[in-house]
């Protein structure tokens, strides 16, 4: 499965636009991580706990998007966008979406 943020793929021609494929991940943050992240924010630096949680959420969302595209019969997803949102009570949401397509090599 080809996954791309572009709307066209070098060496391929889109033969069919199937529809939107998306994947979501809602991740909870815990109190200890929030506390340690707050300390990191005060003294400066990066919060590796949150960075790893964001990376995990992105991976899950992309995997779910790819699985949906496969169920739709696609061999590629183009125009992929990844959005990160904070929702209430320390939860964060990662959404990956794009256009599921069928392609042929040129």
pLDDT of 5 over the 80 cut: yes
DSSP-assigned letters across all residues of 54-76: HHHHHHHHHHHHHHHHHHTT-SE
Categorize the per-residue pLDDT at 32 as very low, low, confident or very high, splitting at 50, 70 and 90.
very low
pLDDT of 51 over the 60 cut: yes
More confident site: 36 or 18: 18
CA atoms of 28 and 20, how far apart (whole Å): 26
Structural domains in the chain plus CATH codes? 2-105 (3.30.110.70)
pLDDT score, position 46: 63
Mean pLDDT of 19-31: 84
Whether the pTM exceeds 0.95: the reply is no
């Amino acid at each position: 499965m080809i996954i791309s943020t572009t709307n066209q793929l070098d060496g391929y021609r889109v033969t069919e636009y199937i529809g939107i494929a998306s994947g979501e991940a809602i991740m909870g943050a815990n109190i200890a991580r929030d506390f340690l992240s707050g300390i990191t924010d005060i003294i400066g630096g990066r919060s590796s706990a949150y960075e790893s949680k964001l990376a995990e959420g992105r991976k899950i969302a992309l995997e779910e998007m790819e699985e949906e595209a496969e169920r739709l019969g696609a061999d590629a997803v183009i125009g992929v966008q990844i959005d990160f949102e904070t929702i209430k009570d320390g939860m964060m949401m990662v959404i990956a979406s794009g256009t599921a397509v069928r392609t042929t090599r040129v």
